[in-house]
Amino acid sequence: MKIVLKDCGKNYHRTWLFRNVNFEFDIFPGNSLAVLGDNGSGKSTFTLLLTRQIEPTEGTIEWTGTNSKGGHNFYSLSSPSMELPEELTLEEWFDFESHIKPFYPEVNLNYIIDLCQFSPKVRKKSILNFSSGMKQRVKLCHSFLTDAPLCILDEPLSNLDQKGIELYENLIAKYQSNKCIVVASNRIDEYQFCKHQVLIKDAQLSVLN
């Protein structure tokens, strides 16, 4: 599969985040892309364009090599702006997500609890009562362990302590060969494993490697 952007631009409140973007990115296991730029440059917006959660102001985005135009079954997403259903317990959240988009066959709730280094008692705890770091760990596990070819990570180390950082490193080491990963970041420790990099600056997207 491939994502193809042709003459793409995105405008918010009469300000162009980027314009005239012509870019192709192959979706296959083990491929990876870092989307770099200053805060407010449009990194998060660019990743949402890749998933087609939002549409460009000008130009086109196509998914080639698939019968679908994209869709939630093709990607998983972790973002600081993404909300978890806080009225649910962790156990209820897992059951809910399992019906929407399947996890890998070996993944169950105990597997996630062990990865996150949570107490077993947390399975019955409402997500509302989770710390921001605990919520971020859940988001990361969901992104990596969902059986989807594309994994989008927006500022993945946000709100994480050292144990959370170790979780991220472990997930990268174990699962980056299973899926294609896109990281929106300006921290090298979040994207240093990525094979390709693009930079958004002055409303332009430049391919660095």
Q: How far apart are CA 109 and CA 145, in angstroms?
A: 11
Residues in a beta bridge with 6? 60
pLDDT tens-place string over residues 87-119: 999 999 999 999 998 999 999 999 999 999 999
pLDDT in tens, 146-165: 999 999 999 999 999 999 99
Confidence of residue 58 (pLDDT cuts 50, 70, 90): very high
Average pLDDT over residues 33-52: 93
183-208 pLDDT tens trace: 999 999 999 999 999 999 999 999 99
Nearest to 178 by CA among 135, 138, 143: 143
CA distances from 156 to 6, 29, 153, 160, 203 (A): 28, 19, 6, 9, 24
Q: For residues 177 and 74, what is the distance between their CA atoms, to the nearest angstrom?
A: 16
Cβ(46)–Cβ(194) below 8 Å:
no
The domains located in the chain, with CATH, are: 2-207 (3.40.50.300)
